[in-house]
A and B are shown apart, each in its own frame.
Chain A
Amino acid sequence: MLKKHPIITFIFFGFILFLISNRLDELRVYQGATVAVYAIGIASLILLIGYSGQVSLGHGAFLAIGGFAAALARIHYEAPVWLTFVVAVLAAAIAGALLGLAAARLSGPYLAGTTLALAIGLPSIANQFSIFGGEQGISFDIGLPPASLGEDFTQYKWFFWISWTVALITLYWLRNILNSRYGRGWRAVRSNDVAAELAGIHVGRNKVLAFTISAGLAGLAGALLAMTISLASPGVFPLALSFSLATGAVLSGVTTLGGIMIGSVTLVAIPEIALAIANRYGSETITTNLPGLLVSALLILTVLFVPNGPVEQMHAKRAKRGHSSHSPVEISVRVGSKTWSTKK
Chain B
Amino acid sequence: MIRINRRKLITTSAVLAIAALTVATVPAQALNPQMADPGITASTIKLGITSPLTGIASPGYNKIPGAMKAYFDYVNTNGGVNGRKITLVSKDDQYIPTTAVAKANELILRDKVFALVGTLGTASTKALTASTQLSKRGVPSLFVNTGWSGFADKKAYPTTFSILPSYQMEAKIMAKYVKETYAGKKIAIIYQDDDFGRDALAGFKTAGLTFDTYIPYASGSQALPATGAGWISKLKTAGAEVTVLFGVTSASTAALANAYGAGFKTQWVLGSVGGDATTIAATNKAYVPLLFGAKGFSFAPAPTDTTDEYIKLFQSIYAAAQPTQTFDNNVVAGMSNAFLVVQALKAAGANLTRAGLIKVIETKGSTFASPFLTPLGYSATAHIGATGYWVGTYGPTGALTPDGGKYTVYTTDSGTGPVVLSTYTRPAMPAKGL
- Seen from chain A, the residues whose Cβ lies within 8 Å of a Cβ on chain B are 1, 4-5, 7-8, 11-12, 15, 18-19, 22, 25-27, 30-31, 34, 123-124, 127-128, 130, 133-137, 139, 141, 149-150, 152, 155, 225, 228-231, 233-236, 238, 240-241, 271, 284, 287-288
* Given A5-B9, A15-B19: A124 touches B220 (CB 8 Å cut-off): yes
Q: Across the interface, do B97 and A134 meet the contact criterion of CB distance under 8 Å? A: no
Nearest-neighbour CB distance to chain B for A259, whole angstroms, equals 24
Q: Across the interface, do B106 and A287 meet the contact criterion of CB distance under 8 Å? A: no
Q: Across the interface, do B220 and A123 meet the contact criterion of CB distance under 8 Å? A: yes
Give the residue of B2, B16, B110, B128 whose beta carbon is less than 8 angstroms from that of A15.
Answer: B16
Q: Across the interface, do B1 and A1 meet the contact criterion of CB distance under 8 Å? A: yes
Q: Across the interface, do A30 and B105 meet the contact criterion of CB distance under 8 Å? A: yes
Q: How far is the CA of A271 from the CA of B12 in the complex (A)?
A: 39
Q: List the B side residues contacting A123 at CB < 8 Å.
A: 220
- Seen from chain B, the residues whose Cβ lies within 8 Å of a Cβ on chain A are 1-2, 4, 9, 12-13, 16, 19-20, 23-24, 26-28, 31, 53-54, 90, 92, 95-98, 101-102, 105-106, 109-110, 121-124, 126-128, 130-131, 133, 136, 148, 150, 192-196, 198, 218-221
Q: Across the interface, do B106 and A27 meet the contact criterion of CB distance under 8 Å? A: yes
Q: Across the interface, do A8 and B9 meet the contact criterion of CB distance under 8 Å? A: yes
Q: Across the interface, do A231 and B19 meet the contact criterion of CB distance under 8 Å? A: no
Q: Which of B13, B53, B198, B218 has the largest number of chain A CB atoms within 10 A?
A: B218
Q: Across the interface, do B194 and A233 meet the contact criterion of CB distance under 8 Å? A: no
Q: List the B side residues contacting A4 at CB < 8 Å.
A: 1
Q: Across the interface, do B53 and A152 meet the contact criterion of CB distance under 8 Å? A: no
Q: List the B side residues contacting A234 at CB < 8 Å.
A: 219-220
Q: List the A side residues contacting B128 at CB < 8 Å.
A: 229
Q: How far is the CA of A123 from the CA of B195 in the complex (A)?
A: 15
Q: Across the interface, do B20 and A235 meet the contact criterion of CB distance under 8 Å? A: no
Query: What are 19 inter-chain pairs, A to B, with CB distance below 8 A?
Result: A1-B4, A4-B1, A11-B16, A18-B20, A127-B220, A127-B221, A134-B195, A135-B196, A136-B148, A136-B196, A152-B28, A225-B98, A229-B97, A231-B97, A233-B126, A235-B121, A236-B127, A238-B96, A241-B98
Give the residue of B27, B95, B110 whose beta carbon is less than 8 angstroms from that of A235.
Answer: B95
Q: How far is the CA of A229 from the CA of B128 in the complex (A)?
A: 7
Closest to A28 in B: B109
Q: List the A side residues contacting B1 at CB < 8 Å.
A: 1, 4
Q: List the A side residues contacting B19 at CB < 8 Å.
A: 15
Nearest-neighbour CB distance to chain A for B199, whole angstroms, equals 10
Q: Across the interface, do A236 and B126 meet the contact criterion of CB distance under 8 Å? A: no
Q: Across the interface, do A136 and B193 meet the contact criterion of CB distance under 8 Å? A: no
Q: Across the interface, do A136 and B194 meet the contact criterion of CB distance under 8 Å? A: yes
Q: How far is the CA of A22 from the CA of B22 in the complex (A)?
A: 12
Q: Across the interface, do A233 and B26 meet the contact criterion of CB distance under 8 Å? A: no
Q: Which of B98, B101, B193 has the largest number of chain A CB atoms within 10 A?
A: B98
Q: List the A side residues contacting B127 at CB < 8 Å.
A: 137, 229-231, 233, 236
Give the residue of A25, A128, A134, A240 whose beta carbon is less than 8 angstroms from that of B109.
Answer: A25
Q: How far is the CA of A272 from the CA of B193 in the complex (A)?
A: 38
Closest to A227 in B: B131
Nearest-neighbour CB distance to chain A for B33, whole angstroms, equals 13
Q: How far is the CA of A19 from the CA of B22 in the complex (A)?
A: 11
Q: List the A side residues contacting B194 at CB < 8 Å.
A: 127, 130, 133-136
Q: How far is the CA of A60 from the CA of B115 in the complex (A)?
A: 33
* Given A27-B106, A137-B97, A235-B123: A1 touches B131 (CB 8 Å cut-off): no
Q: List the B side residues contacting A19 at CB < 8 Å.
A: 23
Nearest-neighbour CB distance to chain A for B225, whole angstroms, equals 15
